[in-house]
Structure 1
Amino acid sequence: MPKDTHKKIALVTISLAGGGAERSLGILSTMLSGLGHTVHIVTLREDIEVPYTGTLFNLGSYKFTDDSLTARWGHLKRLRAYLIQHNFDLIIDNRSRPSLLKEICYTQYIYRNLKVAFMVRSARLETYFPKPISIAKRLYNNSNFIGVSKRICDKITETYGFRNTNHIYNAIPQFSVAETSSTLPSTYILGYGRLVDDVKNFSLMISAFAKANLKTPLVIMGDGQDNEKLVILAKKLNVSNKIYFVGHQRQPSSIVKNALFTLLTSHYEGFPMVLVESLSLGTPVISVDCESGPNEIVQHGHNGLLVPNYDIVALSNAIRMFVLDGELLAHCKSNAKDSVAHLSQEQISNDWNTLINSL
């Protein structure tokens, strides 16, 4: 009788609401379930927005308003009890992990004697490893890490010396191209994501767009703490009449699909879903070469343009080139979908299955 290779897997995450990391986790739950694994999603906060597949344990719903030390300890005991009760073959930890005290608690108590793989979804490693480095090395000694880009895995090895690292790229979402209620111009450039400038650097995008001095408008899609700041910057640069701030869209695919091209100007990334989503919908991209992800996705002159980060002149020139050189834009557009075919859910599911069975 053949051995049953199906596993019982827990995906631990802060929440199921937010940006690309949360969308990627929802996709992962569906892929693993599709492979026949039994999937539980454990959320530490009660925010649930992205689609998922599996059994949800919403630990956040138990918090209520009591934030005392006793309540927090009870919260952690409840999580430990759930993991023990269900006897998971593997726990995949998707949390950000910057707090040393929390990570001592997780590694020494909550995950004690359990098999855990830690996801790292950003090149900013301090988001996923507490300081100091010497203590992090001891906490995670012999742990398994899964990075969403090759560069992230290399950086983990360079910084901490950990060798048990594997990279698995984020998979392409399955879109239903529904029409949006937003009124947009017929032709436009697109930038989208969380409007948090310390991460996504929309200020660079707006500044380069202004410097390009084109008639084609820019659509910025997303919500965040820096929305007003970016509106003020657009006014200051005299391009507010050419920038459309359309907020968060629950059905963004038609906006992405109909754009001339998509811009990404982040300070840092992991494996940016903005680029993957755009290319999968046939929309070419211009991205800064930030750490990490873009240079593992964008093939310069083939499916988009890759420019040095923080170089406003290079970025504005790339924007002008795509708008004014119809032949180059058409060439990159024709290659967009095929360039991310290796990121299909079928292929990434196989990568996950191979890794899970090796751990």
Structure 2
Amino acid sequence: MNKKKVAIVSNSLGKGGAERFAALLTFMLENTGFEVHSIIVNNVVDYSYTGTLFNLEKESSKSFPFYRKIKKGILLQRYLNQNNIEIVIDSRSRNVLLRELITRFIYRNIKIFYIVHSYNFKNYFPDSKFWARTIYKNAEALVCVSKAIEEKVNQFLELKNTTTIYNPFFIPETEVKNAILETQKVILYFGRFDEKVKNFSLLLEAFSQSEIFSKGYKLRLLGEGNDLNFIKQKIKSLNLQNYVEIFPFKNNPYKEVREAKFAILTSNYEGFPLSIVESLALGTPVIAVDCNSGPREIIKNEFNGLLVENHNPKALAQAINRFGDDDELYDFCKKNASKSVVHLTLNTISEQWKNLLNKPK
């Protein structure tokens, strides 16, 4: 039986939630019977993937910089045609109107599914409602990674072709079952070092106000990004140098997550943050701010973690101290952590994608 040919188009396969999802999606689709092609715009590959990889930046590298963007479009169209791609899943950020109109023309004879990874629409939709509808109205589906994003898309565009499929986690069974005999006095953040999105100012101010470090706790930041120096300066200005540790990005920080007392997220906005899901899957409770979107669809307050009003360092400091001091609450949330995300396993989400892609018109 001939397999349906699917191309996943993404910015890259490295160092980001949307990119990590694109890599995971290759396994999900291959496991459910599709022939998978990954097409990446930028030459960054950190995550494991399966199927065929076509690297637009590598293939266009000998062109002049101005012509390179045009060459990428030509190469994309040629690849889709030569490989008889039937379905495209576009996982890129899409924030340049002219480029998206050209890309829509390239996709014209193919079933197209667009993914919206963030509540911050400036990366996925033109400001103009007219142009946004023009680009997206004939897509097979706009796949939103949270219900809050789908609701916002419906309000903004009034389209009928939207659906929500959550991001899955994929952690080897051996890692999930690896028990840590005793957690460390560590509060863990892992992800990008991007102040505008992740709001390290709030995280560090709340950690400072909590004074939980006086009880031996450390804040551990695991990742990389353009705002590393900003974070270091903020740590210095709050006199937290002895209590905050910074470690480089890791593809699979399972050991660090399992060892942490709890994980923390203080973003201004998100999509469906995998760092929360992975922490819970590994049995580590989470404190998250109630930003748009994702945390309130994952965290059940005082069941598997604590959900805190955003932009409120005092409330966040209180939540940090609750997990530090209230053993009964903490143990209850820890006990519930892994079972609270069983609906987000790779197999479950794979079936949802399979059903969507095979759905008749």
TM-score band w.r.t. shorter chain: over 0.9
Q: Which residue of 1 aligns with 2:293?
A: 292
How far does residue 69 in structure 1 lie from its aligned partner after superposition?
4.1
Q: Which residue of 1 aligns with 2:116?
A: 120
Q: Which residue of 1 aligns with 2:224?
A: 223
Q: How many residues align?
A: 349
8 Å contact kept, 2:308–2:315: yes
Which sits farther off after the overlay, 302-311 or 129-138? 129-138
8 Å contact kept, 1:301–1:332: yes
How far does residue 251 in structure 1 lie from its aligned partner after superposition?
3.7
Unaligned ranges ≥5, structure 2 = 177-182
Aligned counterparts of 1:13 and 1:67: Cα–Cα separation in 2: 23
8 Å contact kept, 1:98–1:131: no
Which sits farther off after the overlay, 296-305 or 59-68? 59-68
Q: Which residue of 1 aligns with 2:180?
A: none
8 Å contact kept, 2:288–2:306: yes
Percent identity, aligned pairs only, is 40
Q: Which residue of 1 aligns with 2:104?
A: 107
Equivalent position amino acid for 1:213 in 2? E
Match 2:155 to one of 154, 158, 168: 158
8 Å contact kept, 2:4–2:35: yes
Query: Is residue 75 of structure 1 aligned with residue 72 of structure 2?
Result: yes
Q: Which residue of 2 aligns with 1:309?
A: 310
8 Å contact kept, 2:270–2:294: yes
Q: Secondary structure at the match of 2:21?
A: helix
Residues 71 and 284 from structure 1, CA distance in 2 versus in 1: closer, same or farther, beyond 3 angstroms? closer
Aligned counterparts of 1:79 and 1:71: Cα–Cα separation in 2: 12
How far does residue 194 in structure 1 lie from its aligned partner after superposition?
0.5
Q: Secondary structure at the match of 1:153?
A: helix
Q: Secondary structure at the match of 1:189?
A: strand
Aligned counterparts of 1:38 and 1:114: Cα–Cα separation in 2: 15
Residues 85 and 322 from structure 1, CA distance in 2 versus in 1: closer, same or farther, beyond 3 angstroms? same
Query: Is residue 37 of structure 1 aligned with residue 34 of structure 2?
Result: yes
8 Å contact kept, 1:5–1:357: no
After superposition, the CA RMSD in angstroms is 1.7
Aligned counterparts of 2:286 and 2:92: Cα–Cα separation in 1: 29
Aligned counterparts of 1:71 and 1:321: Cα–Cα separation in 2: 54
Aligned counterparts of 2:284 and 2:312: Cα–Cα separation in 1: 23
Equivalent position amino acid for 2:90 in 1? D
Equivalent position amino acid for 2:194 in 1? V
Q: Which residue of 2 aligns with 1:340?
A: 341
Q: Which residue of 2 aligns with 1:182?
A: none
Equivalent position amino acid for 2:188 in 1? L
**Deviations 1:252-280, CA, capped at 9 Å, x for gaps:** 11001110000000010000011001000
Match 1:8 to one of 5, 24, 36: 5
Aligned counterparts of 1:222 and 1:71: Cα–Cα separation in 2: 31
**Deviations 1:318-356, CA, capped at 9 Å, x for gaps:** 000000111111100000000000001111111111111
Equivalent position amino acid for 2:28 in 1? M
Equivalent position amino acid for 1:104 in 2? L
Q: Which residue of 2 aligns with 1:194?
A: 192
Aligned counterparts of 1:32 and 1:249: Cα–Cα separation in 2: 25
Q: Secondary structure at the match of 2:192?
A: coil
Q: Which residue of 1 aligns with 2:135?
A: 139
Q: Secondary structure at the match of 2:61?
A: coil
Unaligned ranges ≥5, structure 1 = 179-184
Q: Which residue of 2 aligns with 1:213?
A: 211
Aligned counterparts of 1:53 and 1:73: Cα–Cα separation in 2: 28
